[in-house]
Amino acid sequence: MKWLFFLFSMNLFLTYYPVEIISCDQNIQVKFEERTQTLELFNVEVQDMKRACELLQNASAVHIAFEPNIQQEDIFSAWVFVDDMLLQQILIDEEVASIVRKNPTYQYQLDKPIQKVSVPLKSPIVANQTRGMWILLLHFVVSVLGVVMSRWVKY
């Protein structure tokens, strides 16, 4: 049963949200779900905000993703993707930002080289439906295994 707990505790479903950059100076303002929201780059301290703003404003697409189990406050703290590249990683590689905390449970490890990330274009509704389908499928498989095992193992 430990494997079942492990499977349910894993976050296999990270949802990416498209955002529009409203302004960028010392603070990043984005349009997120029809409202303006302040955004900070998760798990990095940026020394050159001008470079971060340049990358954000020149990007053809900007997406954000939230680290699971991190509560969002008035200021969103998120992973930020510019043209399918993790902005935090770009800034670290250019030595204009530093990692705040190395945590192996975080979705992205910033001490690895830059790599392009495939950002699925899913709305939150579709993502939740997909999650529900996987949970139903897993429930079905566990139920079938239970029936098979109960017939195979006699009391």
Per-residue pLDDT tens digits for 11-48: 445 788 999 999 998 899 999 888 899 999 998 999 99
Can you list the domains of the chain with their CATH numbers? Answer: 15-121 (2.40.50.90)
Share of residues in the chain with pLDDT > 70 (%): 65
Query: Strand 44-46 vs strand 16-24: parallel, antiparallel, or unpaired?
Result: unpaired
Residues 6+ away with beta carbon under 8 Å from 101? 43
105: left (phi over 0), alpha (psi -120 to 50) or beta: alpha
Q: Is 93 exposed, middle or buried (0-12, 13-18, 19+ CB in 10 A)?
A: middle
**pTM (predicted TM-score):** 0.65
One-character DSSP codes across 91-142: HHHTTSEEES---TTSSS-TTSPP-B-------HHHHHHHHHHHHHHHHHHH
Residue 31, SS3 per DSSP: strand
